[in-house]
Amino acid sequence: MMSHFLEWANNGLFLYYVTCNLVYLSLLLVAFYTSARHQRRLQSYRLDWIKSSPLSPPITVLAPAHNEQKSIRASVRSLLSLDYPQVEVIVINDGSNDGTLNELKEEFELRQMNALYIQEVKSAPVKALYRSVRDPRLLVIDKDSIGSKADAINAGLNAATSPYMCVVDADSVLEPDALLRIMVPVLSDPKQVIGAGGIVRVLNASGVKGGRLQQVLLPRKGIEVVQVVEYLRAFLIGREAWAQMNMLMIISGAFGVFRTDLVRAVGGYRADTVGEDIDLVTRLHRYLLERNQKYRIQFVPDPVCWTEVPSDLRSLARQRARWQKGLFDVLWRNRDMMFRRRYGRIGGFALPYLWLFELFAPVVEIGGIFTIALAAALGMLSREFFLQFLLFGYAFATVISIGSVLQEELTYKRYNDWKDVARLIGCCFLEHFPYRQMHMFWRLQGLWQYLRGDTSWKPLKRRGMESAGV
């Protein structure tokens, strides 16, 4: 009985890995094709025209900030220096108990204003509104915190005056032409493109001065380098390919543009969500599919947002557990969309994929390690099967990771030093042990925490962007 169970489990695990890697290989091929097409389209689309045209729609940039004293000055300077015709910047001070608000007051000469604030979407109480004397495009909202980034964004959404809104993290840096580039698909088809996401890259070790990225450097610490590979793989392969098939389920909370009226129509961000980015995109899919409206949600691979990633294991573990909790929360709340005709490819393919190959992945992998170890202990493990399993999984995963690095170097070339490229490729060979197993364990922790009702956000250790550079 035990031998049959172990044989079934190990064969099932092998089939699971074959299917998962074939899907990733397909996504890699689609991403290569999409990236080449995007480069050709961008060459024929003049960014100067967007910059100078009075028809370019205004954008409100929303930057929720909670205890961002170390980086808030540089971040807001970066946002105010964006190269786009009409931008308003709304910083939401979400109950910070450090010097975040004082930093803003000193740097931008904030003055409290008496203005009508209409709460179209629900948020925690707003204590005060401030306008910058130095740059009137800057509005700061000081509000009570309920421990939710989504609630902070809602407060900013209520004050937004532009037809498009761009959500960014207050600890991130956008490249000067990021808004121009992310609006290319929107302006190409404004009737159907209702949202677009840009790529997020690792800021650690790169030089930032005055809110501007001065020099791109690959981090020195191995834990940070492996995250560079992860981000390249997730954005340049995963999201680019899913967007091509109009099944993009997540626009990063660090950098994304949406139609303001549609975000308000779905009730803004859900305040009790763990992963506000994937939750909003899923609800937008639901809202538009239920009304039989044609739409697209795009991904643009070259408007870059640079963000600081965790540089210690404890913070990284908390972040990945939180991401898994957010995924579980959204999938569970939208389980009624599965395999229903009205939800098309989202309900028939995108959501099932997330359930099977993202949410359950740590359960399957850690369970597989257990069954393989048990089979070996009982002398039931085929040496040929074990070697095939290891070689197949390792080779496929490595090829996909190398593919993402090569796509970066063939198209965007942010890392110009050949030594940095060599380190990235070397990391592709080394990330599968023990980092992969640790990552799966952190995600499994996230599942367990969500099941027992722990949906809290635990703080991450940050150095601040000005201290990260040269």
User: pLDDT tens, 122-137?
Assistant: 999 999 999 999 999 9
Residue 354 covered by a domain: no
Residue 403 covered by a domain: no
Alpha-carbon span 392 to 413, nearest angstrom: 30
pTM confidence score: 0.92
Longest dimension (CA), the chain: 77
What is the residue-averaged pLDDT of the chain?
Answer: 89
Residue 256 covered by a domain: yes
Alpha-carbon span 367 to 375, nearest angstrom: 12
Alpha-carbon span 62 to 89, nearest angstrom: 6
- Domain containing 148 equals 53-322
Number of H helices, E strands in the chain: 18, 12
Domain of 239, CATH number, reads: 3.90.550.10
Return the higher-pLDDT residue of 304 and 322.
Answer: 322
Residue 229 covered by a domain: yes
Which pLDDT value is given to residue 116? 83
What is the token pair recorded at 16?
């699971």
**Residue from 78, 242, 291, 39 nearest 172 by CA:** 78
Q: With bands split at pLDDT 50, 70 and 90, how would you rate the model's confidence at 42?
A: low
> How many Å separate Cα 69 from the centre of its chain?
23
Sign of CA dihedral 169, 92, 197, 438: positive
Residue 103 covered by a domain: yes
φ and ψ of 252, to 5 deg? -55, 135
What is the token pair recorded at 277?
């980015």
Residue 6 covered by a domain: no
Alpha-carbon span 279 to 410, nearest angstrom: 33
Q: With bands split at pLDDT 50, 70 and 90, how would you rate the model's confidence at 354?
A: very high
Indicate the number of domains in the chain: 1
**Core vs surface per residue 151-168: b (16+ CB within 10 A) or e:** bbbbbbbbbbebebbbbb
User: pLDDT tens, 4-19?
Assistant: 888 788 788 888 988 8
Residue 32 covered by a domain: no
Residue 216 covered by a domain: yes
Which pLDDT value is given to residue 467? 44
Alpha-carbon span 436 to 6, nearest angstrom: 23
pLDDT (mean) for 430-444:
90
Q: With bands split at pLDDT 50, 70 and 90, how would you rate the model's confidence at 45?
A: low
